[in-house]
Amino acid sequence: MPRSLNSLADLTADLREFARERDWEKFHDPKSLVLALTGEVGELAELFQWLPAENVELEFRDPRRKQRAAEEISDVLTYLLRLADVLDIDVEAAVRDKLADSRIRFAVDDVSGVAPVKE
Amino acid sequence: MPRSLNSLADLTADLREFARERDWEKFHDPKSLVLALTGEVGELAELFQWLPAENVELEFRDPRRKQRAAEEISDVLTYLLRLADVLDIDVEAAVRDKLADSRIRFAVDDVSGVAPVKE
Amino acid sequence: MPRSLNSLADLTADLREFARERDWEKFHDPKSLVLALTGEVGELAELFQWLPAENVELEFRDPRRKQRAAEEISDVLTYLLRLADVLDIDVEAAVRDKLADSRIRFAVDDVSGVAPVKE
Amino acid sequence: MPRSLNSLADLTADLREFARERDWEKFHDPKSLVLALTGEVGELAELFQWLPAENVELEFRDPRRKQRAAEEISDVLTYLLRLADVLDIDVEAAVRDKLADSRIRFAVDDVSGVAPVKE
């Protein structure tokens, strides 16, 4: 019976099961997972690197390019959720907290139209 | 009325709204978002870099470390979902397809206990 | 007596000495160094992320921005050379070989003005 | 007449010439170069990701693995030097300054055997 992948918790569980079935959990320590995440972010970056900035969104309407981006984004998400799982982090709660925090930290009237500067 | 953040689609919508309210959508072209993603992956990597590999999971039971990891994972997820959104990619569908694909590509009997090699 | 830092070999030796004096070599296994490298690339990426692509070179004529970029580039180079060193790789020879290779692989007449596509 | 690649300045000049001959300088704006750098760091990370941390240095005595690492390190260095070049940054001076700075900031007696914590 296929499960819904709608929630991050369900998806996290499916990815854990996928790893467990293949006896791959032993490879999934945090440092290795961050390296794998870095690898996938690198593949994502390569899709965009030489395109003129102003053309990118248009170029990615091409179904083949879009499909490639969708795959790389999936790979990044996969390792990110595996990392959260092995660290016993509830990503849904974390991202909800972070967003609530950002709504306070970046009040609309203070930051409208101004890029946040890294501290 | 607060919305659920349970699905990736809901979270994507909330992050878009957060950017729109602040007039930050103009900064969120794909190349810029991949650079921001790279920045957050870098912050995540820094949390782990000098810890002995065998101690990491134990060290991250410390609530403060765990909280830091949760925040950085949230930041990575935020830019990843913003990127998917501006490229009009349905992340839920993409990750479901990718996982179905991987179940075929990496058959349990073929890969059990063996790390996949990048092609 | 200060040494020249002109060659990559000299710089590599100085960075090794710096680590050795501080008893930091024990932290410099390859996986940790790649994570540290990722961290520094992330800090570099953050300097550019929200700037309009067409303004970046102009913005970085500002001495303070330029100084920040110089520091982050130095940090990336530092970990890259440390990694090469612990793997016993001669970076000068490697980059010379790679460039000779690229001169053949990307013949001027074939690729003029066309961005190379990742295979 | 082949030039020495011994200094970073010579290597920087050779890489600029390589790009100019192919009319590739137009692709080498800073944001694109950082994305290309990210791509190469990702390829480097993939070489190490699933190896047990304690075995990496031994595994990389294998000439084929070592050669792969040498190539990826060269690619990272290439884009790093291209980036410094387009930003008009003297990498040799920058890294010399940074190292002098670090010698003061991390006094041997203060940090011996203790990994620096990111601030």
List chain D domain ranges: 8-111
First to last CA, chain D: 48
Q: Which stretches in chain B have pLDDT values below 70?
A: 1-6, 118-119
Angle C82-B60-B70 from CA coordinates, rounded to 5° = 95
Q: Does D114 touch chain B (CB under 8 A)?
A: no
* % of chain C surpassing 70 pLDDT: 93
C-alpha dist (Å) from residue D56 to A79, B55, C77, C82, D64: 21, 17, 21, 15, 14
Q: Does C25 touch chain D (CB under 8 A)?
A: no
Kindly tell me the sign of the dihedral angle through the C-alpha atoms of C31, A28, A36, B11: negative
When pLDDT is averaged across residues C31-48 and rounded to a whole number, the result is 98
pLDDT tier at C2, thresholds 50, 70, 90: very low
Are the beta carbons of A108 and B22 closer than 8 angstroms? Answer: yes
Instruction: Tell me what pLDDT residue A119 has.
Output: 52
By C-alpha distance, the chain D residue nearest C70 is D94
pLDDT in tens, D1-42: 344 456 899 999 999 999 999 999 999 999 999 999 999 999
pLDDT at C4 over 60: no
User: Can you tell me whether residue C7 is helix, strand or coil?
Assistant: strand
Instruction: Tell me what pLDDT residue D117 has.
Output: 74
pLDDT tier at C3, thresholds 50, 70, 90: very low
User: How many other CB atoms sit within 10 Å of the CB of residue B28?
Assistant: 19
Angle D105-D38-B48 from CA coordinates, rounded to 5° = 50
pLDDT tier at D116, thresholds 50, 70, 90: confident
Whose CA is closest to C41, among B84, B18, D80? D80
Q: Comparing B47 with C5, which gets the higher pLDDT?
A: B47
Cβ A73–B80 below 8 Å, yes or no?
yes
Helices C63-86 and C30-48, axial angle in degrees (round to 10): 160
Instruction: Tell me what pLDDT residue C118 has.
Output: 66
Domain D8-111 has CATH 3.40.50.2300: no
Instruction: Tell me what pLDDT residue D1 has.
Output: 38
pLDDT mean across residues, chain A = 93
Two tokens, residue D46: 């993939």
Instruction: Tell me what pLDDT residue A23 has.
Output: 96
Two tokens, residue D38: 């990210």
Q: Does C49 touch chain B (CB under 8 A)?
A: yes
The CA distance from D22 to C115, in Å, is: 9
The CA distance from C107 to B30, in Å, is: 31
Q: Phi/psi of residue D44, each to 5°?
A: -65, -45
* % of chain A surpassing 90 pLDDT: 88
Mutation pick from C33, C43, C77 vs chain D, by most beta carbons of D within 10 Å, is C77
Calculated CA dihedral for residues D114, A87, D59, D118, nearest 10 degrees: -30
Q: Does C13 touch chain D (CB under 8 A)?
A: no
Alpha carbon of residue B112 to chain centroid: 26
Are the beta carbons of D14 and D3 closer than 8 angstroms? Answer: yes
User: Can you tell me whether residue A100 is helix, strand or coil?
Assistant: helix
Mutation pick from D35, D54, D82, D83 vs chain A, by most beta carbons of A within 10 Å, is D35
pLDDT in tens, A58-112: 999 999 999 999 999 999 999 999 999 999 999 999 999 999 999 999 999 999 9
Give me the helices (H) in D1-119, please: 8-21, 30-48, 56-59, 63-86, 91-105, 108-111
pLDDT tier at C60, thresholds 50, 70, 90: very high
Superfamily of chain region C8-110: MazG-like (1.10.287.1080)
Of 1.10.287.1080, 3.40.50.620, 3.90.226.10, 3.40.109.10, the CATH number of A8-108 is 1.10.287.1080
Query: Residue B115: its chain D contacts at CB < 8 A?
Result: 50
**Predicted ipTM?**
0.94
Cβ A66–B57 below 8 Å, yes or no?
no
Instruction: Tell me what pLDDT residue A7 has.
Output: 87
pLDDT tier at A3, thresholds 50, 70, 90: very low
